[in-house]
Chain A
Amino acid sequence: DAKTTQPNSMESNEEEPVHLPCNHSTISGTDYIHWYRQLPSQGPEYVIHGLTSNVNNRMASLAIAEDRKSSTLILHRATLRDAAVYYCILRDMRGGGNKLTFGTGTQLKVEL
């Protein structure tokens, strides 16, 4: 499986933008880049996904490098509720399934 590399932790101040990086140098042409987050004591929560173009939704934006070897999840204004572990995942569709391989993720801390 193609792997992703993320920083173990990042800190941000409330109401400031946060850029969470992810490296995936062995990504294949058909791999979608997914981001999920896991708040304390909860199950993972879908954030956003993309293939080649930058994507925006109500939660975040996803910026994908032109060579697709890296991507950045952007939270435009961090709130205390955004403190969570953020996972960057390459979706493995081999065999017709939808296997999400979670790494260790980035622990985001948001301070007042």
Chain B
Amino acid sequence: DSGVTQTPKHLITATGQRVTLRCSPRSGDLSVYWYQQSLDQGLQFLIQYYNGEERAKGNILERFSAQQFPDLHSELNLSSLELGDSALYFCASSVLVDTEAFFGQGTRLTVV
């Protein structure tokens, strides 16, 4: 158990819908990351926050947005969902912006 909690574990939704994935980092960690893992694209970095502020941005679609709240938990919002958005979404956290990251178990999103 890495100490990073992601909810829900599984999510099934229809195309065009909007969902919110939630992540609670390890106690004391200030930085959170979001990654997407699909069969054809592998693990893709989406975005990183540190103490509430965006620090690095990867291949995150405009339909996706994220934020880190004052209590350091983070949410990833996915809207106008398409079939291709079906994937595992991982959250990770680290103590500082550049220390090793600890990953959660992921949220499996299925868009039908």
Contact = CB atoms under 8 A, between A and B. Distances in A.
Contacts of A104: 42
B92 interface: yes
Interface string A88-106: 0001010111111111100
B56 A45 contact: no
Contacts, number: 60
Interface residues of A, number: 21
Contact of A46 (B43, B90, B101, B106): B101
Contact count band on B: 20 to 34
B58 to A, nearest CB: 6
A43 B2 contact: yes
Nearest to A45: B103
A91 B98 CA distance: 9
Contact of B48 (A98, A102, A103): A98
Nearest to A91: B98
Given A43-B90, A43-B106, A97 B100 contact: no
A21 interface: no
B18 interface: no
Given A98-B31, A98-B56, A49 B45 contact: no
Nearest to B106: A43
Interface string A62-93: 00000000000000000000000001000101
A51 to B, nearest CB: 12
B43 to A, nearest CB: 4
A46 B100 contact: yes
Interface in A30-50: 34, 38, 42-46, 49
A45 B101 CA distance: 8
Interface of B: 2, 4, 31, 33, 35, 42-45, 48, 55-58, 90, 92, 94, 97-106
Given A96-B55, A104-B42, 15 more contacts: A38-B43, A43-B4, A43-B90, A43-B104, A44-B101, A44-B103, A49-B100, A96-B97, A97-B48, A98-B31, A98-B33, A98-B97, A98-B101, A101-B45, A102-B42
Interface of A: 34, 38, 42-46, 49, 87, 91, 93, 95-104
